[in-house]
Structure 1
Amino acid sequence: MKLILAEKPSVAKNIADALKIKTKKDGYFEGNGHIITWAFGHLVELYDAKDYDGKMRSWRMDNFPFIPEEFKYKVKSNPRNRQYPDSGAQKQLKTIHTLMKRNDVTMIISACDYDREGQLIGDSIIYRGGRPKKQVSRLLLNEWTPKEVLQGLENINSNETMKPLRDAGISRQWADWVIGINLTSVATLKYQKGKGKALNIGRVLLPTLKIIYDRDKEIENFKPEDYFKLIATFQTQDEKDYEGTYIEKNREKFKEKETLEAIHQALQNKQGVISDKKVEKKKEFPPFLFNLSNLQGYITNKYKGWTSDKVLKVAQSLYEKKFITYPRTSSIALEESLVGKTANVLKTHAEDLPYKDEIKFMKTKRVFNNAKVESHSAIIPTYLKPKRLSADEQIVYTAIKNRFIMQFMPIAEYEETKLTTKVDGLKGVFSSKGKVQLIEGWKKVEKIQSKDTILPLVHVNDHVSLLDSKVTTHVTKPPKHHTERTLLRVMETCGKSYKEEENEEIMGSILTGFSIGTAATRAETIKKLKDVGYITAQGKNLLSTDLGRRLVETFPVQNLFDLEFTGRLEKALSDIQNGKANKQEFLHMVFSFTNESVETIKNGQDIIINEIASTKNTNEILGTCPECGGKITDGYKAFGCSNWKKGCKFVVWKNDKFLATMRKKPTKTMVKELLKGKRAFVKGLTSKKGSKFNAYLRYEKNPENDYYSWKMEFK
């Protein structure tokens, strides 16, 4: 019997379906020589500082720096009350370990996602009780379709071969814990006045904030300047008009209006002659296949209201439903071994298209290139065609499918014409450009309209008449605020060789691994920057807040804002993953940096970066506790029972996670209704799709423990 551990229940179901296992038990599937169980992402987490040493329960400057001699793990905490373990995680962990010990189980197979985090999730569960006496193997897949699952199970690896990936995952986790716990605590003690959210400090958070801050300052400090152009309108001998822009020494923008005004006057009543004509056919290749950052940039730029975090969640859903390949990838090409499989996928998706006769499968370096693949290939659809998708899923799926099909359509072609018109007596010439689309090719897939600029048919030495000329006034424009699209591109390359107009081919050739965060974590970083109040969104634009600016301008550990420094850390993690660097050396460097940074903050200037106005709890009595008959009062962080010191567990947290998913917070009125009538009518809840709805909410005790959960009714 083989025991397979999946990262999520939905993936376990995909594996069970592939193996045609129908029998589901409490926490696992069983049948056909296999047991398939699952995690819920991370089931264990690192100890909190206070778990190592009781003195760490209170934040005191003398307690830091704090770096454990040995890093320990515990069952994931209950998100509503971190003092207790999550009961669901605890139960599932027990189920997995019971299954591992069964006498009929001969092999344990980790089927968690093939990335740093997935390796860490699987190993932290499998090796929690020590090294199992049974063989531990690894299933490495890029998609969860039945064919891939069955083929993957025929080609499993030893889990020991994944040690570099595990070391990279552990290094990332421990480094972020040490930097986050120490610098967040010390910075909050030093620079924050009043109680409330901590002043978040992180190795990925701060450089990302600095990118946005720097752009904001560029815009603030920008001084607009006037510049001028001279535009002339000419007419050919067969009375066709065209425009030309005056160019002198390769310059068409002039700071001195008088210079152009003088040329404008000198032009009057003059004739021109075509001194040069160049006609070139040019090819337009389709944009590369999507990696996660490019997909997020494309969707957030094209559709209103989308964030990178939302794109990732929707793509993850499509992946778990077997419709697309692994989304958390940084690659823009496919492995060369996937040629045959890709041809079949293309055939499946091309059969119903009106331009299917133009689609031709070819093995090209733009699509199949091992040198451009790191861990996972680019995102493409699988051979399974969805019958029904949500509106959000349809947007993301269509983008991925279209980008895939474009690769096998004809290359688009256009003809570019450049005319040079010379007027006697002038140092410069007039330049005109025309463009005509000859072959639409891949542009048909998304109905991309090409704007043609048609010039009249002329030949070199033809004479033309000057109809009109004018000096036009223009103003230099400031840089644009960052959007999620442009920010993701800078994060992906640490700003190296970055220009907004550069294409994806150039971006793909940047040093591998040299980035801020990974494809999987960048969306979370942007979301966290918003959540902690360091940046804000205005439409598609991202701007630093006053708090974010004060942090950049005051926080003394400047290395954490430096893209080069952060890029080197991420590159080191990438090297550990590829077996080119040592985990212990990396951690020693991070621990030394943390110790030095804590001392820098302690010895730095005393200044307030964030002042939080005190919010006094009213202690207003809202009703009677349904648990023990005590008094429910309005406290600072929660509506809780006056008998909490005696062990009463009834509490409604003001930052309740369940209500937060529907963009709501509990109110005094809601709690009073719950206590009086056992349910409250709540208006203006927000669904996952963003639509508003009303519902009755109950707050009832769980049958299996002492805690309470929300129940929703619609009548």
Structure 2
Amino acid sequence: MKLIIAEKPSVAKNIADALKIRGKKDGYFEGNGYIITWAFGHLLQLFDAKDYDSKMTRWHMDNFPFIPPSFKYKVKGSPRNREKPDPGAKKQLNTIYFLMKRQDVECIISACDFDREGQLIGDSIIYKMKPTKKVYRLLINEWTADEVLNGLQNMKSNDEMIPLRDAGVSRQWADWVIGINLTSVATLKYQKGSGKALNIGRVLLPTLKIIYDRDEEIKNFVPEDYFKLTATFKTKDNQLYEGTYSEDEKEKFKDKKKLEEMKEAIKNSNGTVSDKQVERKKEFPPFLFNLSNLQGHITNKYNGWTSDKVLKVAQSLYEKKYITYPRTASIALEESLVGKTAKVLTTHSEGLPYKDEIKFVKSKRVFNNNKVESHSAITPTYMIPKRLTKEEEIVYQAIKNRFVMQFMPVAQYEETKITTKIDDNTIPGHFQTKGKVQLVEGWKKVEKIQSKDTLLPLVEQHDSVTTDSVEVSSHVTKPPKQHTEKTLLRVMETCGKSYKQEDSEEMLGSILKGFSIGTAATRAETIKKLKDVGYITNQSKSLLCTELGKKLVETFPVEELLDLEFTGRLEKTLADIEKRKVKKEAFLSMVFDFTTKSVEKIKQDKEIILHQVSSTKPSREVLGKCPMCGHSIIEGKKGFGCSNWKNGCKFVVWKNDKYLAAMKKRVTKTMVKNLLKNGTVKVKGLTSKKGNKFDANLQYIKNPDNEYFSWKMEFADKRK
């Protein structure tokens, strides 16, 4: 028997389906020569500081820096009580270790995600048992049956993955040491009152600094007036076209008086078309998605989406076998995928109105090993989804469309440039006019992208024209825009580098590989955490620093952690560990030394309070009167209950009520308010056992035989 350990139950099910195994036991599948079990992501976590030394139970300045002599792992903590091991994780670990010891198991196969985090998850579980059996690694980019079977025929020895594991371990240990020490010391130094800690992290702070810098740019921006001179010309056929005055390739001028004088001189004068250039240009489709570009595309196009949400939806599609591995930084496919990609394209071309225009071509824009880092770009698999949620449909269609675009005709347009010179030698410059006409729609058909045409009258070089009107317009320079998740992801991906002449997805996808703020897999989590800890906030799609975030950037003395270059070099070193260019020990030694010096720098910093935590408990919102005793109904952790519960009132509306949960609904605060006010509440979008959606009016009625309440339903308009 061969034992396969997957990262999640859904992946284990995909593998079992590929191997046609139907025999499910408690915590694993078995059949056809395989046993397939699973983790739930990280089943093990690093010891907390207090697990190494009891004095670390309480935070005291004298206890830091704290760097354990060796790092140890324990069963991950329960979400309800971090002090106790999660019972589900403990049970599954015991199942895995029981299976590893079985006499009939000849080898162990790690089937966790093919990245440093997946390697760490699998290896931390497997090697804690010090196995004597051979360990192999299943390395695949999607969980379709064909790919699973092919991957099992081409496994690697897990010993070959030691550099990837070292990179994962180095990242985990470094973030633990920096996070534990600097978060603790910064909180003790700069925060007054107990409450949430001042989170300090290797990736968190430089990302905060990116947003802070943009906020400061906008705040310190001084608008400047500038002016433009525009003329409308009339051809011999009485057709009009507009031109903008240009002098020494400059169209914006600060001297309004000079332009006004020119305006008077030009009025009613004649001109000549001194030059006409007509050029046919190609528009290639945007490159295949990597994770950052997918997140930027979706968050920019749809309101209410975050990078974290895009990743979660993409991960769901991946586990359902509909797309390839989403946590990728690449915008191209490996050249070995040519044959497979052609088949996937054939599958997805069926039924499309532009099917006849889709042609498979092996191009360097799509297939290029030099642009692939660990994983190829995100594409659909050959599996056609039968049912998707609205969110899954949005992400899936974006990925599918971007894939199909690569094999549609290149869009083409004709650009016309007309140069008009006034027939007066005292006017030094000339007027520029541009026109554009789309000739070939090509890949733009896929998402119905409308091109804006600018039509010009038919004029030729040396034609004479007359000036119909002249206008001097006033303008004001605009400040830079606030960062959005799309622009922030781009800065994180390129470590803040600006490439003006090569600012294309192609260049940005290939420069400085590994030299970034975080990775494709972690950037969304970083942005979410910045919001959760109160360092940044949203205004529509814009991201802004809060007062706390601003104070932290302006005060925190460890400047390296706010420096994009420093953090980029750390990330680059982790990438170099994967490539065997740097040893894990050298990286960790540097991080430990940096942490020790940083702790001392914070200790010696001036005394200042950045954050004062109020000790008063927030007053709870009263949702209505209790129907049993008349006291206030307030929100608790698990339900909405009577504030008079200590005196025996048992009225409560449970948040995760089983009756409503069966119809895929959860009790909300608004529902409870309406229920208490009106005695009934209309609930929309309930789901029947057959999967049909319907609306209903609900009452919460006391049972005649006891003090408890039950829901009573009256049907509203039914929807199919």
Q: Structure 1 length normalisation: TM-score? A: 0.89
* C-alpha distance in 2 between matches for 1:379 and 1:688: 31
Q: Residue 225 of structure 2 aligns to which amino acid in structure 1?
A: D
Q: 1:588 to 1:89 in 2, by over 3 A?
A: same
SS of the counterpart of 1:37? strand
1:299 matched to 2:272: no
Q: Which amino acid aligns with 2:450?
A: Q
Taking the aligned partners of 1:360 and 1:150, their CA distance within structure 2 comes to 29
- Aligned residue for 1:160? 159
Taking the aligned partners of 2:17 and 2:47, their CA distance within structure 1 comes to 37
Q: Is the 8 A contact 2:328 2:377 kept in 1?
A: yes
Cα distance in structure 2, aligned partners of 1:162 and 1:463: 73
State how far apart, in whole Å, the 2-side matches of 1:203 and 1:522 are.
12
The Cα shift of 1:582 comes to 0.6
Q: Partner residue of 1:105?
A: 105
CA displacement, residues 111-142 of structure 1 (integer Å, 9 cap, x when unaligned): 00000110000001111122x11111000010
1-structure distance, mates of 2:378, 2:588: 33
**Is the 2:641–2:651 contact (alpha carbons within 8 Å) kept by the matching residues of 1?**
no
Deviations 1:58-110 (A, max 9, x none): 00000000000010000001111111100000000000000000010001000
Question: Partner residue of 2:186?
Answer: 187
Instruction: Work out the percentage of aligned pairs sharing the same amino acid.
Output: 70
Q: For the Cα contact (< 8 Å) 1:7–1:111, is it kept in 2?
A: yes
- Quote how far apart the aligned CAs of 1:500 are: 12
2:213 paired residue number: 214
Which has the larger displacement, 565-574 or 73-82?
A: 73-82
Question: Which secondary structure does the structure 1 equivalent of 2:128 belong to?
Answer: coil
Give the Cα–Cα distance (whole angstroms) in 1 for the partners of residues 511 and 491 of structure 2.
11
Partners of 2:572 and 2:710 lie apart in 1 by: 50
* Contact 1:493–1:507 under 8 Å retained in 2: yes
Distance 1:673 1:374 in 2: 60
Maintained 8 Å contact 1:45/1:73? yes
Once residues 530 and 265 of structure 1 are traced to their aligned partners in structure 2, the CA distance between those partners, rounded to angstroms, is 56
Equivalent position of 1:609 in the other structure:
610
Give distance in 1, aligned partners of 2:66 and 2:232. 74
CA shift at 1:680, angstroms?
2.1
Instruction: Confirm whether residue 672 of structure 1 aligns to residue 645 of structure 2.
Output: yes
Say if 1:356 and 1:589 are closer, same or farther in 2 by CA, change over 3 A: same
- Name the counterpart of 2:434: 433
CA-CA distance at 1:669 after TM superposition: 3.7
Change (3 A) 1:690 1:346: farther
Distance change >3 Å, CA 675–CA 682, structure 1 → 2: farther
- Give the drift of 1:502: 3.0
Tell me the amino acid that sits aligned with residue 613 of structure 2.
I
Deviation at 1:509, TM superposition (A): 2.7
Whole-angstrom distance in 2 between the partners of 1:548 and 1:270: 59
Q: Does the CA contact (< 8 Å) of 2:641 and 2:652 recur in 1?
A: no
> CA contact under 8 A between 1:490 and 1:498: conserved in structure 2?
no
- Residues of 1 paired with 2:395 and 2:550: CA distance? 34
Query: Shift of residue 674 of structure 1?
Result: 13
Q: Distance in 2 between matches of 1:548 and 1:248?
A: 45
SS of the aligned residue for 1:3 comes to strand
Alpha-carbon distance between aligned partners in 2 of 1:539 and 1:396, rounded to the nearest angstrom: 21
1:13 aligns with 13
Cα deviation, residue 694, structure 1: 4.7
Determine helix, strand or coil for the equivalent of 2:483. coil
Q: Give the TM-score of the pair, scaled to structure 2.
A: 0.88
What is aligned with 1:141?
A: 140
Partner residue of 2:718?
none
Matches of 1:176 and 1:286, distance apart in 2: 39
Indicate conservation of the 8 Å contact 2:640/2:652, yes or no: no
1-structure distance, mates of 2:416, 2:464 = 18
Q: Deviations over 1:229-284 (max 9, x none)?
A: 00000011011100000001111000111010010010022101000000000000
Task: Compute the RMSD of aligned alpha carbons.
Answer: 2.4
Q: Which moved more, 1:575-584 or 1:397-406?
A: 575-584
For residue 580 of structure 1, report the CA deviation from its aligned partner.
1.2
Code of the residue aligned with 1:330 in structure 2: it is A
Q: In structure 2, how many angstroms separate the alpha carbons of the residues matched to 1:516 and 1:499?
A: 20
Q: Which residue number in structure 2 is paired with residue 632 of structure 1?
A: none
Give the secondary-structure state (helix, strand or coil) at the position aligned to 1:420: strand
Measure how far apart 1:506 and its partner are. Answer: 2.2
Contact conserved, 1:681 with 1:694, CA < 8 A, in 2? no
Corresponding residue SS for 2:189: helix
Residue 685 of structure 2 is matched in structure 1 by none
Measure, in 1, the Cα distance between the counterparts of 2:667 and 2:258: 59
Alpha-carbon separation, structure 1, partners of 2:179 and 2:484? 26
Distance 1:667 1:603 in 2: 48
Partner of 1:120: 120
> Where does 1:550-629 land on structure 2 (aligned, <5 Å)?
550-615=551-616
1:66 aligns with 2:66: yes
Whether the 8 Å CA contact 2:640–2:654 is kept in 1: the answer is no
Corresponding residue for residue 708 of structure 1: none
Structure 2 partner of 1:281: 280
Question: CA deviation digits over 1:465-488, x for unaligned, max 9?
Answer: 110000001110000000000000
1:309 maps to 2:308? yes
Contact 1:683–1:694, Cα closer than 8 Å, also in 2: no
For structure 2, which runs of at least 5 residues remain unmatched after alignment? 620-633, 676-708, 713-720
Secondary structure at the residue paired with 1:137?
strand
Report the alpha carbon displacement of residue 501 of structure 1 after superposing the two structures with TM: 10
Residues 31-430 of structure 1 aligned to structure 2 (within 5 Å): 31-130=31-130, 132-423=131-422, 424-425=424-425, 426-430=427-431
The number of aligned residues is 658
CA distance in 1 between counterparts of 2:191 and 2:520 reads 32
User: Which residue identity is paired with 1:118?
Assistant: G
**1:507-527 deviations in Å (ceiling 9; x for gaps):** 113210000000000000000
What is the distance in 2 between the residues matched to 1:615 and 1:119? 45
Distance in 1 between residues matched to 2:599 and 2:711, nearest whole Å:
53
